Amino acid sequence: MKILITGGLGYIGSHVATVLLQNGMDVIIVDNLENSRIQVLDGIQFITGKTPVFRQMDVSDASEMNQLFDDFSDCAGIIHFAAYKSVSESVSEPLRYYDNNLGGLQLLLKHATSKAIPLIFSSSCTVYGQSETLPIREDEPLKEATSPYGSTKRIGERIIEDCCKAYPKFNAILLRYFNPIGAHSSAKIGEYPIGIPQNLVPFLTQTVRGIRPILKVFGSKYDTADGTCIRDYIHVVDLAEAHVESLNYLLKKQNSEACEVYNVGTGNGVSVLELIRAFENATGKSVPYEPSDPRPGDTIAAYADASKIEQKIGWKARYTLEEALLSAWEWEKRINH
């Protein structure tokens, strides 16, 4: 069975490729290498002993997409990651974000809907904004996006929902991820942050490695137990398995609705200070950090009610926070910046 992964050499896509190959699927990776590295392919091959098909191309190029779907007309499923993901960059370059994230999705949907190929879409808990209730359920009302990046996720979800209504044979799952962290246990694939990391864990591991002088903890007086923000950090391998199980569920036609939406998180809310302590416990390394001003636009607390995906699809996170942080550290020690 052939599965297409767009953005398959990126952080989450590469872990999904690995799990699919280990489950005996054939994998076609499409990636334009703009924010990823070709060496990731070697990592995937090392881990799985298998060679996925790789095509360097842009999902927003119509003729290349036509060629792709002609060449792989027997593609059984699509997992779509190819998108830009920097919140700050999206604010300064909104058109680039709308063009790439939504233009690429629309072209992909043209092919997926006409051939009724099931699709897994990479969405984000960013669509909830600051939720009124915690933990966050999938039926929580969505908030106005605070950045063009967030907007592309929200509009992307809507476009897919509309397609599922219009084309009765087309089915999709929207996965709303919480905060993916960590790397494969082999330390052969992981996250390559571009420039100075914006996300907490890569910034933290670079600080411990001595690349950054100190970790600034954004905000210390929030209305939380220790005053710092709360998130739901999920091991990227758990997240990858959630994709594969969701795809299998669609392929076996176990879905009750044409478009279903699931949170993918652990269900545990963890503060920034708790995460720092967990890292120190897991690795024995101390983290240089200092309290700092809040980061504008930060959500105070967001963590998943992950019971729906467990009940309907049978997926549940297996890794602890410490295991995820240890894997992030093993990866950090291996990579060259």
Positions in the binding site for ligand UD1 (CB under 6 A): 87, 124, 126, 150, 179, 198-200, 203, 215-218, 229, 231, 272, 295, 297-298
Q: For the CB of residue 2, give the shortest distance to ligand UD1 in the complex, in Å.
A: 29
> Could you tell me which of 319, 302, 322, 318 has the C-alpha nearest to residue 310?
318
Tokens for 176, please give them.
């709303």
Of 150 and 156, CB closest to ligand UD1: 150
Q: For the CB of residue 198, give the shortest distance to ligand UD1 in the complex, in Å.
A: 5
Radius of gyration (C-alpha) of the chain in whole angstroms: 19
> Could you tell me which of 41, 44, 28 has the C-alpha nearest to residue 76?
28
Of 112 and 201, CB closest to ligand UD1: 201
Residue nearest to ligand UD1 (CB): 229
SS3 38: coil
Of 55 and 216, CB closest to ligand UD1: 216
Tokens for 29, please give them.
């990776």
Q: Are 1 and 76 in contact (CB under 8 A)?
A: yes
Write the DSSP string, 99-136.
IIIIIHHHHHHHHHHHTT--EEEEEEGGGG-S-SSSSB
Alpha helices in the chain (DSSP H): 11-22, 39-48, 62-71, 87-92, 94-97, 104-114, 148-166, 200-208, 236-251, 272-283, 307-312, 321-334
Cis peptide preceding 135, ω within 30 of 0: yes
Of 161 and 298, CB closest to ligand UD1: 298
| Residue 293, phi-psi category: left (phi > 0), alpha (psi -120 to 50), beta (remainder) | beta
Q: For the CB of residue 73, give the shortest distance to ligand UD1 in the complex, in Å.
A: 34
Q: For the CB of residue 174, give the shortest distance to ligand UD1 in the complex, in Å.
A: 14
Of 167 and 203, CB closest to ligand UD1: 203
Tokens for 28, please give them.
């076609």
For the question of residue 149 being annotated catalytic, the response is: yes
Q: Which residue in the list 149, 177, 192, 262 is annotated as catalytic?
A: 149
Of 76 and 145, CB closest to ligand UD1: 145
Q: Please give the distance of CA 166 from its chain centroid, rounded to a whole number.
A: 27
Of 74 and 132, CB closest to ligand UD1: 132
Beta bridge partners of residue 218, listed in sequence order:
292
SS3 306: coil
Q: For the CB of residue 16, give the shortest distance to ligand UD1 in the complex, in Å.
A: 16
d(CA 190, CA 40): 9
Q: Which residues are catalytic?
A: 149
